[in-house]
């Protein structure tokens, strides 16, 4: 199918025989696939998309527009018809030449269409260009729907984009030259292996399709991932507390505790030695503690945010103070754990407890007034569906969370990997970050609804206060010295929203750093890579646009800049500490036992 001679393209009899054998294997695997789908564990259909009312209102708005402004609708139709007919005529002219020649205008570039055949082969070029015409027509039609509530318009736009991405010709075997070429080259073996990959992924998730992004056999916790030496020195029903082994003769007096998000596992901050923030901090002379959260099962149905604060944050801080003999700790909260750190700091302020000396927030949202790309998932019908799912299972299954996050970047996290695995028959890459991404955790039922209803939907923390543990917790109560790191292209916690929450906190000592890249790569950005730079601006009274306009850009990782800020609040140097003490015996080696539990129901 590339520029080969006819004899190279036409399969031999022996090749056809092997392809026939492989296609028979496909039939056998299809029966196995049918069994998986027949017995699959279902979820609430409300989690798959909006009900028909949204599309009904959209159609009604579109036709109302046609009546009130027919010229715009005619313009849409004429543009679509003209583009379609133009490219049809061009394709006919190419075919009339009696040979397959590349069109003069191959159309716009798109990384999904990297194979040269998309430009040089009339059939594939026609398919590509018609798809792009169709995609543009649908996108324009949705954009021009005016008589629709903004939240509904936002959701309609999101699902229209999902339809456009789904219908890409690269997602179908008959219109994917890469997959077809691979099938010929491997005599159909790639299709057999692809179907086996598909069935394996379905079986692993009880019939739910979650595309495996990394080779799970390539990593083992404690062996080649999450390897920084340390000990579990405390455990309760919510978390294991890890104290890492010092690598310097002296350490800063004030200990450092990291609260990672419990949506995924803590070792995002301890992947490999080369990109481990945990190891880097230990090497800078900090006594580092990390909370490793439990992976909840249905018995955690009634666990709420209050349990994470009391049995997680407050308990960890108390145990660290007891082990080190210090009166204060420096604390880090990442993502949802940063949101909860803000709640904890408000609670401590109201109690007159000064156990936290400084706070650092990694990509943390505390003001949810702008829901950004998550808006389609925060409408009542979707949250109602989650509530029903929780009522049935006791937890919000990790597979639901993984799928939701993946659809925000569907071409990168769903369709692209699915093409390689299911159509090309390739083994997922041995990539530590993607391995971590697939190692999800369930969320307790009560906690999920508190977070989604009270914080995300009603924005209570930034609008009057969030009621918890007998207190009304507010951002204004957060008055410790703080540093916030947000990420420029973060699609989960937009930097401008993180900035807005930090502005509302009561601290007089605030530092805000915006790093390049996204939610994970922007944080896991070691100095040795010298890959992403960062922005700083001390004036946090400005709105986010003016802050960025006046910010200074710095090459390289933000880690050293932040650590310079941290060590000023970390106290004098003292002899290095050993993990645990007489009242905190070593329970096991890091990374512990909780991190190894897979999310199953």
DSSP 531-561: ---EEE-S-TTS-HHHHHHTPEEESS-SHHH
Is the Cβ–Cβ distance between 252 and 570 less than 8 Å?
yes
Q: How far apart are CA 35 and CA 202, in angstroms?
A: 11
Which of 90-126 are b and which e, b meaning 16 or more Cβ less than 10 Å from the residue's Cβ? bbeebeeeeeeeebeeebeeeebbebebbbbbbebbb
Q: From start to end of 215-283, where are the E strands?
A: 230-235, 239-244, 250-252, 256-259
* Centroid of chain to Cα 486: 15
Q: Give residues with Cβ within 8 angstroms of 195, minimum separation 6.
A: 26, 29, 30, 33, 422
Q: Which of 247, 361, 245, 340 is nearest to 293 (CA)?
A: 340
Q: How far apart are CA 268 and CA 225, in angstroms?
A: 10
| Enzyme catalytic residues | 335
Q: How far apart are CA 581 and CA 326, in angstroms?
A: 14
Helix/strand/coil for 234: strand
Is the Cβ–Cβ distance between 442 and 296 less than 8 Å?
yes
Is the Cβ–Cβ distance between 119 and 102 less than 8 Å?
yes
For helices 52-68 and 150-166, the axis angle rounded to 10 degrees is: 100
DSSP 147-197: SS-HHHHHHHHHHHHHHHHHT-GGGSGGG-HHHHHHHHHTTTHHHHHHHHH
Q: From start to end of 442-594, where are the E strands?
A: 443-444, 466-468, 471-473, 482-487, 510-515, 534-536, 552-554, 573-575, 588-589
Is the Cβ–Cβ distance between 412 and 219 less than 8 Å?
no
Q: How far apart are CA 4 and CA 243, in angstroms?
A: 61
> Per the structure block, which two tokens stand in for 418?
């699915």
């Amino acid at each position: 199918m590339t520029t080969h001679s006819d004899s190279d393209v036409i399969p031999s009899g022996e090749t056809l025989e092997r392809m026939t054998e492989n296609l028979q294997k496909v039939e056998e695997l299809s029966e196995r696939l049918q069994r998986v789908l027949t017995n699959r564990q279902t979820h609430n259909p409300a989690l798959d998309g909006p009900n028909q009312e949204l599309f009904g209102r959209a159609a009604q708005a579109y036709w109302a527009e046609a009546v009130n402004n027919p010229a715009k609708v005619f313009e849409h139709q004429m543009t679509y018809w003209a583009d379609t007919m133009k490219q049809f005529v061009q394709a006919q002219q190419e075919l009339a030449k009696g040979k397959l020649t590349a069109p003069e205008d191959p159309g716009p570039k798109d990384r999904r269409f990297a194979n040269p055949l998309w430009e040089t082969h009339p059939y594939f070029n026609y398919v590509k260009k018609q798809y792009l015409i169709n995609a543009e027509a649908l996108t324009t039609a949705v954009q021009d729907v005016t008589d629709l509530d903004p939240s509904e318009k936002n959701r309609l736009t999101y699902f229209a984009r999902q339809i456009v991405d789904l219908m890409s010709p690269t997602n179908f075997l008959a219109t994917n030259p890469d997959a077809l070429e691979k099938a010929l080259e491997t005599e159909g073996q790639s299709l057999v292996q692809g179907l086996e990959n598909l069935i394996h992924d379905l079986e692993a998730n009880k019939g739910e399709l979650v595309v495996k992004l990394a080779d799970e056999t390539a990593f083992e916790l404690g062996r080649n991932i999450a390897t920084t030496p340390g000990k579990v020195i405390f455990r309760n029903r919510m978390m294991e507390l890890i104290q890492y082994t010092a690598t310097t003769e002296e350490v800063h007096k004030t200990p450092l505790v990291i609260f990672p998000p419990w949506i995924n596992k803590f070792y995002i901050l301890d992947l490999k030695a080369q990109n481990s923030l945990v190891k880097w901090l230990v090497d800078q002379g900090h006594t580092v503690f990390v909370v490793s959260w439990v992976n909840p099962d249905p018995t955690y149905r009634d666990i709420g945010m209050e349990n994470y604060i009391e049995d997680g944050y407050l308990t960890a801080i108390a145990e660290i103070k007891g082990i080190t003999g210090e009166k204060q700790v420096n604390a880090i909260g990442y993502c949802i754990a940063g949101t909860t750190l803000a709640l904890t700091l408000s609670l401590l302020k109201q109690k007159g407890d000064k156990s936290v000396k400084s706070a650092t927030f990694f990509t943390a949202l505390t003001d949810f007034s702008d829901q950004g790309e998550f808006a389609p998932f925060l409408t009542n019908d979707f949250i109602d569906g989650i509530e029903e799912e929780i009522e049935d299972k006791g937890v919000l299954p990790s597979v639901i969370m993984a799928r939701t996050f993946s659809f925000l970047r569907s071409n990168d996290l769903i369709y692209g990997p699915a093409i390689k695995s299911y159509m090309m028959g390739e083994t997922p890459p041995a990539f530590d970050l993607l391995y971590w991404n697939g190692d999800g955790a369930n969320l307790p039922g009560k906690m999920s609804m508190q977070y989604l209803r009270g914080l995300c939907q009603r924005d209570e923390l930034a609008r009057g206060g969030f009621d918890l543990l007998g207190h009304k917790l507010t951002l204004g109560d957060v008055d410790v010295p703080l540093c916030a790191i947000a990420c420029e292209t973060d699609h989960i916690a937009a930097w401008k929203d993180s900035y807005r929450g930090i502005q509302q906190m009561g601290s007089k000592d605030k530092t805000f750093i915006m790093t390049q890249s996204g939610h994970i790569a922007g944080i896991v950005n070691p100095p040795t890579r010298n890959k992403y730079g960062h922005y700083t601006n001390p004036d946090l009274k400005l709105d986010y646009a003016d802050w960025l306009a006046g910010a200074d850009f710095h090459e390289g990782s933000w880690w050293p800049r932040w650590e310079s800020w941290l060590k000023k609040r970390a106290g004098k140097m003292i002899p290095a500490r050993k993990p645990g003490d007489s009242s905190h015996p070593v329970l096991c080696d890091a990374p512990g036992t909780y991190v190894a539990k897979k999310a199953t129901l």
